[in-house]
Amino acid sequence: MFKILQKTASTGTVTVNYAAEPIKISERFRGRPDFDFDKWKDARPAAEVCPTGAISLSDKGDSRKVTVDYGLCIFCGLCAEASSEQAVRITQEFELAASDRRNLVLTAEYTLNADRTHRGLRKVDRKSVNVETDVENLGKKARETIHKILGRSLAIREVDAGSCNGCELEIVALNNPVHDIERFGIQFVASPRHADMLLVTGPVTRNMELALLKTYRAMAEPKVVVAVGACGISGGIFGVNYASLGGVDKVLPVDVYIPGCPPRPQALLHGILLAIGRLAERLHNDRAG
């Protein structure tokens, strides 16, 4: 017992101060791939190696539309390796949560040479990645919102709708002393009847569809749904098949999407804080209407 107390005292505080301060990330961490569309002379090698179809091409005559979907991306980095002109670069960006699925999609249009390489860039639709970047304020706002609007903690029910458990490991990490999600007044609960937020991982297997629906229906209004990881957003590596429905929004209305495979704890926290804003809006509308 004395040894435990001694160790605790000598370790000191281990909790990181995210989101009030930026987090120090390992050099080896792979985040969002960034695309330099001006520099990109051929998207085919990257599209060919992309394991989830996050990079897709559609050629018509001498023009090509390239679509990049961060909701499908597993941040594997293969596109950067395949891009010989170094037009694709793996960044360390992880704060990618978005409330609109369309904000996770980028498109670029090119004219083509005879050998199907890019001759010129016609236009880029960069409305994505339109994420909430004011993270420090997000944390402060979330804590205030939870206390002001709910008058108690925010309760989250997590459902694994067929995930590989990678996302679960990161969700569990949210509760450890390093990330300590309870400092925001947020806690995980066992019953959907006590929950304000439904956090869903996995591509939604057909076997889990009914269980997920029943959990959602058991929650009191107002409630918000957060889809976690590439699988929760789009089915990820599993896609749509005989066993997988291809994402949470095929079954439930989703309020916030958190990309990643799996999203790191701070990415989850960023998405949850964003979802609290949605919950506050809903509560306000309910009270007004």
Binder among 19, 43, 54, 228 for ligand SF4 (CB under 6 A): 54
In whole angstroms, the minimum distance from the beta carbon of 200 to ligand SF4 comes to 21
Q: Give kind and range of the element (H or E) at residue 174.
A: helix 166-174
The residue whose two tokens read 């991306």 is 73
Cα dihedral across residues 240, 164, 237, 73: positive or negative = positive
Q: Residue 50 interacts with ligand SF4 (CB under 6 A)?
A: yes
Q: Which of the stretches 69-77, 91-99, 238-246, 279-287 binds ligand SF4 when contact is defined by CB under 6 A?
A: 69-77
CB 51 within 8 A of CB 236: no
CB 192 within 8 A of CB 199: no
Q: Residue 33 interacts with ligand SF4 (CB under 6 A)?
A: yes
Q: Residue 73 interacts with ligand SF4 (CB under 6 A)?
A: yes
Binder among 66, 78, 108, 233 for ligand SF4 (CB under 6 A): 78
Residue 35: CA atoms inside 13 Å, Cβ hemisphere, count?
28
Nearer to ligand SF4, 156 or 258 (CB): 258
Q: Which of the stretches 7-15, 49-57, 139-147, 173-181 binds ligand SF4 when contact is defined by CB under 6 A?
A: 49-57
Binder among 18, 37, 40, 75 for ligand SF4 (CB under 6 A): 75
In whole angstroms, the minimum distance from the beta carbon of 68 to ligand SF4 comes to 6
The residue whose two tokens read 């009030």 is 20
Which DSSP string do the residues of 212-243 spell out, in sequence order?
Answer: HHHHHHHSPSS-EEEEEHHHHHH-TTT-SSSS
Residue ranges with strand state E in the chain: 33-35, 55-60, 63-69, 88-90, 105-112, 118-125, 154-160, 186-188, 197-201, 224-228, 256-258
In whole angstroms, the minimum distance from the beta carbon of 50 to ligand SF4 comes to 3
Nearer to ligand SF4, 86 or 111 (CB): 86
Question: Cβ atoms within 10 A of the Cβ of 112, count?
Answer: 17
Exposure string (b/e) for 43-59, b if CB count within 10 Å is 16 or more? bbbbbebbebebbeeee
In whole angstroms, the minimum distance from the beta carbon of 32 to ligand SF4 comes to 8
Q: Which of the stretches 72-80, 151-159, 199-207, 216-224 binds ligand SF4 when contact is defined by CB under 6 A?
A: 72-80
Q: Residue 52 interacts with ligand SF4 (CB under 6 A)?
A: yes
Close Cβ partners of 212 (under 8 Å, ≥ 6 residues apart):
159, 161, 200, 204, 248, 251, 252
Q: Residue 231 interacts with ligand SF4 (CB under 6 A)?
A: no
- Return the residues of window 101-160 that contact ligand SF4 according to CB under 6 A: none
Q: Residue 76 interacts with ligand SF4 (CB under 6 A)?
A: yes
CA separation, residue 139 to residues 80, 94, 145, 179 (Å):
33, 16, 10, 13
Nearer to ligand SF4, 50 or 108 (CB): 50
Q: Residue 195 interacts with ligand SF4 (CB under 6 A)?
A: no
Nearer to ligand SF4, 106 or 149 (CB): 106
Number of residues that bind ligand SF4 (CB under 6 A): 14
Nearer to ligand SF4, 69 or 170 (CB): 69
The residues that touch ligand SF4, with contacts defined as CB under 6 A, are 33, 49-52, 54-55, 73-79
